[in-house]
Amino acid sequence: MLLLGIESSCDETAAAVVADGTRILSSVVASQIPIHEKFGGVVPELASREHLRKIVPVVDEACRQAGVSLGEIEGVAVTEGPGLIGSLLVGLVYGKALALSLKKPLVGVNHLEGHIHAVLLHNAAQKQAGPSVLSSSFPNVTLVVSGGHTILFRVEISASQGAIAPLFSYHRMGQSRDDAAGEAFDKVAKLLALGYPGGPVIDRLARYGNPHAYDLGRIRMKGNPLDFSFSGLKTAVLYRVRGTPLASEAEEREAWRKSLRNQLNSEDLRAHCSQATLDMVASFQEAAITDLVQRTIAAALETKVNTIFVSGGVACNSLLRQRFSQAAQEHNFGVFFPSPTLSTDNAAMIAAAGYYKLVRGEQADHSLTAHASFPLGDGRL
């Protein structure tokens, strides 16, 4: 079954053609980073306008790269939430119109479910695991960690007799009470004038800093020990920077960055950072990643599963991957990630998640609409 996936929940306009939920024939992502960069974060109104400009060419390009015509598409899977409402509506309305005109089935997909399926999709594409990964990887604990979300799920599958595709069920075990982890990376990078998005920049610069130079405190909260909180960590960085030479250095860096016409080169950026700034960046990353890994391992131990999935933009982080690999060996867990391009927002993951729904007979009708807030699964909110 050839599915067209469409994703436009935040600042990426994406379309992909995926065969049988496992083979990626194309995956096109038009990033809006240059548009939002100067604001240090996504500006919703600008994002919607850019989606409007990009949606048609991106879908056309996905079909071209896959070598299929729109008429050969057998179904359309589109993100229905959560996300920025104006952004979501562009992809959703276009996908809906396309399905209607092609007389093909339409299915709405939760963006978070897409991130979870990105792990299966990547592993299927790598041929490390074909359909067998389906039964051997569940139940598992999945950490979805991005610029908009930090959530721990227990994911199960049930294959009722006679059903062609398994049914996935999601149980929320914990989530961020304030900022998402990726948002904290972006805000710290903004504070230190390092550019946007902050995650990849901090990941690269942190290699040159001492992760134990600044004690930013441990993240402690009352209540559910599997919840996250990153606003305190971000504030701890703010207090260590405000009124210090780190702040004036950031101001100078901001002026230097503004004077540049071309895309910033990471070596030049490093040359414009003092050792103290590199140490701050490394200390922040160390604190954030340690917390993410520890709580995820705690969730896996509590659930008594031996598989962990990690997905979402922050899953690209090199320290996070390294720490999870170490923890996996220590506790004998299997830890699976998507490739970096499937970790960040893309439409192949939406088509992959939509495939299982369509095969199970789930279909959306013309009343399908976008939801800014759209919790996945049951459990705590």
Question: Rule CB under 6 A: which residues touch ligand KG4?
Answer: 10, 146-148, 182-183, 185-186, 197-200, 203, 312-314, 316-317, 344-345
For ligand KG4, the closer CB: 88 or 99: 88
Select from ligand KG4, Zn ion, none the partner in contact with residue 179, using the beta carbon and a kind-dependent cut-off of 5 to 8 Å: none
Select from Zn ion, ligand KG4, none the partner in contact with residue 335, using the beta carbon and a kind-dependent cut-off of 5 to 8 Å: none
For ligand KG4, the closer CB: 44 or 139: 44
Tokens of 340: 């970096």
The distance of closest approach from Cβ of residue 319 to ligand KG4 in the complex, given in angstroms and rounded to an integer, is: 8
For ligand KG4, the closer CB: 171 or 321: 321
The distance of closest approach from Cβ of residue 308 to ligand KG4 in the complex, given in angstroms and rounded to an integer, is: 18
- With b for 16 or more beta-carbon neighbours within 10 A and e for fewer, the 305-334 pattern comes to bbbbbbbbbbbbbebbbebbeebbeeeebe
Select from Zn ion, ligand KG4, none the partner in contact with residue 75, using the beta carbon and a kind-dependent cut-off of 5 to 8 Å: none
For ligand KG4, the closer CB: 63 or 84: 84
Comparing CA positions, the residue from 48, 50, 73 lying closest to residue 60 is 73
Rg of the chain over all Cα atoms, to the nearest angstrom: 21
DSSP labels, 86-150: HHHHHHHHHHHHHHHHHT--EEEEEHHHHHHHHHHHHHHHTTS-STHHHHHT-SEEEEEESSS-E
Select from ligand KG4, Zn ion, none the partner in contact with residue 200, using the beta carbon and a kind-dependent cut-off of 5 to 8 Å: ligand KG4
C-alpha distance across the termini of the chain, in Å:
35
The distance of closest approach from Cβ of residue 146 to Zn ion in the complex, given in angstroms and rounded to an integer, is: 4
Select from Zn ion, ligand KG4, none the partner in contact with residue 227, using the beta carbon and a kind-dependent cut-off of 5 to 8 Å: none
* Alpha-carbon gap, residue 370 to 381, rounded angstroms: 20
Comparing CA positions, the residue from 117, 139, 68 lying closest to residue 343 is 117
For ligand KG4, the closer CB: 81 or 312: 312
Give the binding site for Zn ion (CB under 5 A). 146, 345
